Amino acid sequence: MSLKEISEKTKLNKATILRLMVSLERFNYIVRLGEGRFSLGPNPIHLGAVYQRSFRVSDHVLPVLQDMMNETGETAAYFIREKDLRVCLFMVESPNTLRSHLREGDVRPLRPGGTGLVLEAFSGGEGEEYERLRQSYIAVNIGERHPEISSVAAPVFRIGQQLVAAVSLSGPTSHFDEQTIPFLSRSVLEGAARLTYSFGGDPTPLDLARHGIPKTERPKRLLEN
């Protein structure tokens, strides 16, 4: 397009457009052609590739969350950290009447909450609580945010063991007892290990943590369903 055409379409004056074009050209978003015309540069292709990679994350996450929910009957979710907040990117809701009500896109403070504790611990949080979590790889939250809702959560890593997210199972506090907590914890750690492997991280610590939890029988309420 020519400078005149861009001005007509954007309603910006030509001097403003030229200042913007200098910056866009410097970072390869715009290429200046002959005869005073402009074209898209190579960088928008890079942005498109980044978008595609980000979009495909769901192809890996959602099947794991679905398996976690099918195995345990509880709501499975995938949270990322945004500064001092945690954002639910993906979730698979439990079909139970009594369940943790969560929606994709929900934004919550890091604390209280098990997923927030995981995101803090593996982002360099200091203190005994965080150190214990970095040893066990599992956070058990019993009614911390709401007395009727509890959860278990574990970290997900990418290449270089950099934290990507936290996965969790949440549901009514009545479902979290001495029998079910080990069962739920093993399921969460298995899901976290699968995702870590998919993202190029080392799942070994998560697998070791899972094997360190005694196996328990499938909760009676699941056998009855």
Instruction: Let me know if domain 3-52 sits in CATH 1.10.10.10.
Output: yes
Quickly count: other Cβ atoms within 10 Å of residue 210's Cβ: 22
pLDDT exceeds 60 at position 3: yes
Pairing status of strand 139-146 against strand 149-158? antiparallel
pLDDT exceeds 80 at position 79: yes
Amino acid 126: pLDDT: 86
Residues of the chain with CATH 3.30.450.40: 56-223
pLDDT digits 0-9 by tens, 195-221: 999 888 999 999 999 999 988 777 766
Give the chain's mean pLDDT: 88
pLDDT exceeds 60 at position 225: no
Amino acid 224: pLDDT: 55
Amino acid 96: pLDDT: 76
Residues of the chain with CATH 1.10.10.10: 3-52
The residue-averaged pLDDT of 120-134 equals 92
| Residue 191 pLDDT grade (very low, low, confident, very high; cuts 50, 70, 90) | very high
pLDDT digits 0-9 by tens, 142-182: 988 888 889 999 999 998 999 999 999 999 998 898 889 99
- DSSP state, residue 102: -
Question: Higher model confidence: residue 23 or residue 45?
Answer: 23
| Residue 140 pLDDT grade (very low, low, confident, very high; cuts 50, 70, 90) | very high
Amino acid 111: pLDDT: 85
The residue-averaged pLDDT of 33-56 equals 79
- pTM of this prediction? 0.71
pLDDT digits 0-9 by tens, 92-103: 998 877 666 677
| Residue 222 pLDDT grade (very low, low, confident, very high; cuts 50, 70, 90) | low
Q: Which CATH superfamily is domain 56-223 in?
A: GAF domain (3.30.450.40)
What percent of the chain lies above the pLDDT cut of 70? Answer: 93
Q: ∠ CA(138), CA(143), CA(144), 5° rounding?
A: 75
